[in-house]
Amino acid sequence: MKLTTRGRYGLRAVIDLAVHTDDEAVALSQIAERQGISMNYLEQLIAKLKKSGIVHGIRGAQGGYVLAMPADEISVGDILRALEGDLSPVDCYELNNSDTPCSSSDICVTKYVWKRISDSINDAVDGIMLSDLVAESKKVQAEAGITQVNQSKQTC
Amino acid sequence: MKLTTRGRYGLRAVIDLAVHTDDEAVALSQIAERQGISMNYLEQLIAKLKKSGIVHGIRGAQGGYVLAMPADEISVGDILRALEGDLSPVDCYELNNSDTPCSSSDICVTKYVWKRISDSINDAVDGIMLSDLVAESKKVQAEAGITQVNQSKQTC
DNA sequence: TTAATATCCGAGTAATTTAATAGGAATTAA
DNA sequence: TTAATTCCTATTAAATTACTCGGATATTAA
């Protein structure tokens, strides 16, 4: 039940992008450096965000990325689902529309458990907007006077 | 953010055990057969449940497993945490007491997200008792007249 | 006492997924 | 044209998952 680095790095990258957006596009190299994430890897993550319509890429010199929508219209759920796929704890045909139908869905009891978990996760992440995190981030950074993440490995 | 087969199989095994408990202990071979799970693998899972004090093993002939507590005192959260470890979406020093302190916890914004997710998951699973699932299972099985899981692969 | 039935325990392993790295093509501003 | 940048795909090492296997230990019943 752990998120992968895709979700963790990707969310940090989007927050970083949102925080550092003025009129110009933000280059991925800047986000990668500030967040201490390999740029090559970050490219793959931002590709998922682009595919889901959360960010928009601008090619060429002076290019970069911008949010495709206002930060208060992007939920953490949108971001995490783009990066991790659906946030359900199981691949269940009835919950998500999983690829293969489930042979024992008629006598399956655990599906009630999975649905409760799934709903609670999605409710939680859909209730937090990117703008909330941007506001929090600006507040915290103003207090600490730091914009760059520490070198040492982060687990979250 | 998916549970592994440990959590999925293990929860099904505990429900099966609880449903089929009369006065005698239930042999693992019976659970394995009914649930279509390899007995060798199930052994490893039940070992975790034993270690967490959820089931109790009785060795020797006519032995097997019994619940270590009444089913209405065992939550789905207890079971899943025994099988999967903590249900937090990240290894965060402040959330769980993770092994390594986090270098950037003072400027970390995502921790608020992880805490909301973690709390919502734990609240959900701690609110469902094994006895609830046993009751549901007996109801469903009475309707369907089936006690054994279908051969074909289950994804949940 | 012996045989059968179980749990208990640890080692090994194939398959899958994760977390990257790497290289180059396409696009655009200066 | 050149430098900066996104875009795209292939490859790979490490970790994790999902098992299998073999045998030791305990208990009951004949």
Which residue is it, tokens 């994430």? A37
Residue A33 CA distance to nucleotide D16 C1' (Å)? 29
pLDDT tens sequence across B98-154: 777 787 777 899 999 999 999 999 999 999 999 999 999 999 988 887 666 765 668
Residue A74 within a domain = yes
* Predicted structure pTM score: 0.94
Which residue is it, tokens 């409760």? A116
Residue B77 to residue B67: CA distance in whole angstroms: 15
- Helix, strand, coil % over all residues of chain B, rounded to 5: 50, 5, 40
Residue A92 within a domain = no
Number of compact structural domains in chain A: 1
Residue A62 within a domain = yes
Residue A58 within a domain = yes
Looking at A20-144, which runs of residues are DSSP E strands?
55-58, 64-67
Q: Which candidate, A1, A4, A132, A83, places its Cα nearest to that of B120?
A: A1
Give the domain extent around A71. 5-86+130-144
Q: What percent of chain B is modeled with pLDDT above 70? A: 95
What part of B 85-114 touches A (C-beta under 8 Å)? 87-93, 95, 98, 100, 102-104, 106-114
Residue A156 within a domain = no
Q: Is the pLDDT score of B22 beyond 60?
A: yes
Residue B78 within a domain = yes
CATH number at residue B136: 1.10.10.10
A60 contact to strand D (CB, 7 A limit): yes
